[in-house]
Structure 1
Amino acid sequence: MVKATVDLHLHTTASDGATSALELVHQAAAMGLKTISFCDHESIEGYKQALETAEELGLELIPGVELLTMHEGREIHLLGYYVDPDSPVLNSWLKELREDRNVIAEQMVDKFNKHGYDIKFERVKEIATDNVAIGKNHFLFALIEAGYINTKDEIIHILRDYLAQHGLAHVDFSKNPYYEAVEIIIECGGIPVLAHPGLIRDDHLVLDLLRHPKLGLEVYYYYLGPDAEKLRQRYYTLARERNLVMTGGSDYHGRFSPDVKLGQVYVPEGVVAQLKAQVALREKGVLKSG
C-alpha cells in the first residue's frame, strides 16, 4: 500500500469533528502526512487556531471550508480551498451561515421531541460549543448521552430515518444556494470543489453541479462499501475528461466516524500542485475571480 502524505478533507471541533485543530496537526505530522486541510462546516477557525503549530511541525495546512448548500431541492456539500481566512466577506458570511444552521437545529430538536426523543436544544448547543454550526454528530452525541442510542445499528437508524434529507427530524437548509456559494468562494480567493460526488447518487445532477467553469471535483474520497474504488475511478475519469481540478481526503471526524481513519484514502501529491497552479493562475489574472 502506498503511504498517504495528503489529506485535504478533515474536520475538527470547530465544526462536527471530535479532535481539536491543534491535536489534529500533531497527529497528522506524527503519522507522516505532509499536506492537510481542515474543511470544517461553515468555519475557518480551526485553520486559524493551528496554522502556527502546523508550520512549526513542518506540516502544510491549506485553508479550507465545507458548506451545506441547496440546489433544486437537494442538499449539496461544497468545499472551498485557499479561501482568504482574513476576508471580512468570508468571515461575516460564515458566521451568518452558522447562526442560520443553528436556527434549523432548534427546529430539528423539536421534531425529535415530537417523536419521543427527549433531548434539549441547550444541551445539543453545549455539545457543539460556541460559534459552531450544529450538525448530525452533535445530535447523535446528545442521543447517545440521553440513552437512546447504544449500538451501531441504532446510529444508522437515526442517520437514515431521522437526520437524512426528508428524514423525520430533518429540516432543509435553504439559505445557501449552491451557485451563490460557488461565487462567494471565488470572490474570497478560493477554489470551489464539489464534495464527495458518489454520495449524491445521481450523475446527471453531478454534471449539472459542475456547470460553473471554475469548479473542481473531490475525486479521492473514503467511500464506505464495496464500490469505493469504482466510485473513485468513475470521478477520476470524469475529472480528466473535463480537465477539472481534483482533490481528495478521508472526511475524518475522529471518534464521530470510527470507520474512517486519518489519511486513510490515498491522495496523490500532484493534487496539491494542481490546486496551487490554479491559485497562481488566478493571482496572475489568467483566471478571473468572477
Structure 2
Amino acid sequence: MKILQDLNVDLHTHSTASDGSLSPSQLVLRAIEHEVDILALTDHDTVSGIAEGLEEAKGTGLTFIPGIEISTMWGGSCIHVVGLDIGFNNPKLKEALLQIQKGRFQRAERINSALIKAGLPSMLERALSISGGKGQIGRVHFARAMVQENICENVRDVFSSYLVKGKPGYVEHYWPSLKNVVSLILEANGLPVIAHPARYKLSYDLLTYMFDEFVSFGGVGIEVATGSHSSADIDRFKNVSIEYDLKASRGSDFHSPSESRYDVGRAPYSPDCLLPIWASLDVRG
C-alpha cells in the first residue's frame, strides 16, 4: 500500500468545461493511463464538468476530487485560487460563478474590440465556438482561434504577441476579491489553495503580505510543485509552506497534450518534508 507522499496526485487540471482540450471523461481516462491515484478537476470559474468526471471515475480505482480554479483580485494583481473537495452543488457558489461567467463574456467582447483596433479581424465568434459558450470564454480561446487563422504559429506566440499586459489584445478586468473567493470556497466546504504562486511576480514584501492575508481569510494550502514552477520555485515555496503552515499541493495545470508543459500526473513531486494537502481530502472514493 502506498504512503501519502508516494501517491501520484494531480490536483490542478482543466477540461473542455473551461479552457482544456479534453472532455472530463477523456481527462479521467488519461489520468488512469498515467497511473494517477488522485485527480482533481479544477476548471476555471465553473463546476460544469465535475459530474461527468465523477461518473467516468466510478469503479476505476482513481479517486476523483471535485475542484475549481477561481480568478481573484488582490493588490491590483489577478491571483488564482484552487478550491479542492468542494461541494459543487452549493447554491451560493453556483450564483457567484454565474456572475463571474457574465464578466468573462464582457471581457471577451473588450478583447475582441482591442484586437480589431490593432488591425486584426473579429475573433469573437470563432473563440466562442471553441469555448463552447459565453460563460467560459477566456484568452486561451482567442489564442486558439488566432492559431487556426494562421495569425500566429502557436498559443504561446499569441499570448506573448497579443494577450499579455502591454500587448494590443490585453484588457484589464476586475475579478472578485481574494477574501470573497476564499470565503466562497469555505462556504462550499472546500480547501482554498493558492495556485502557481511563482507566476505572480510579486515583490518579497507583497508576497508576504498576500500570504498573511490569505491565511487570515482561512486559506489552507499552496501549490508548491506545479507545471509552471522551476526547481528553484519549488524550493522557494517549500519554505513559504513551512513558514505559514500551509499544506502543500501538487498539480500539472494540464490543459492540453500539445500546449501544457506537463501532462496529467507528470508534474514534479512535492518535497517530502511538507504536509501534503491530499491528506485532508475525502479520498474514500
Shorter-chain-normalised TM-score: which range? 0.7 to 0.9
**1:133 corresponding residue in structure 2:** 136
- Structure 2: 5+ residue stretches without partners: none
CA–CA separation in structure 2 for the residues paired with 1:256 and 1:134: 20
Residue 55 of structure 1 aligns to which amino acid in structure 2? K
1:194–1:209 CA contact under 8 A, matched in 2 = no
**1:71 corresponding residue in structure 2:** 74
Q: CA deviation at 1:177?
A: 1.6
- SS in structure 1 of the partner of residue 71 of structure 2: strand
Out of 25, 30, 36, the position equivalent to 1:27 is 30
**1:206 corresponding residue in structure 2:** 207
User: Percent same amino acid among aligned pairs?
Assistant: 27
Per-residue CA deviations over 1:68-113 (Å, capped at 9, x if unaligned) read: 1111211111111122111111112112211211111111011011
**2:187 corresponding residue in structure 1:** 187
Distance 1:98 1:256, change over 3 A: farther
- Work out the number of aligned pairs and report it: 271
Alignment of 1:1-290 (within 5 A): 5-130=8-133, 132-150=135-153, 152=154, 155-202=155-202, 203-210=204-211, 211-213=213-215, 214-215=218-219, 216-223=221-228, 228-255=230-257, 257-267=259-269, 271-276=276-281
- Structure 1: 5+ residue stretches without partners: 280-290
Q: CA deviation at 1:258?
A: 4.2
1:4–1:264 CA contact under 8 A, matched in 2 = no
Per-residue CA deviations over 1:183-205 (Å, capped at 9, x if unaligned) read: 11111211111111111122333
Q: Which moved more, 1:235-244 or 1:197-206?
A: 197-206
CA–CA separation in structure 1 for the residues paired with 2:157 and 2:56: 39
Distance 1:256 1:41, change over 3 A: farther
- CA RMSD in angstroms, aligned pairs only: 2.2
Per-residue CA deviations over 1:31-53 (Å, capped at 9, x if unaligned) read: 21110101100011221111022
2:257–2:263 CA contact under 8 A, matched in 1 = no
CA–CA separation in structure 2 for the residues paired with 1:41 and 1:98: 10
CA–CA separation in structure 1 for the residues paired with 2:51 and 2:258: 23
TM value normalised by structure 2: 0.87
CA–CA separation in structure 1 for the residues paired with 2:194 and 2:260: 24
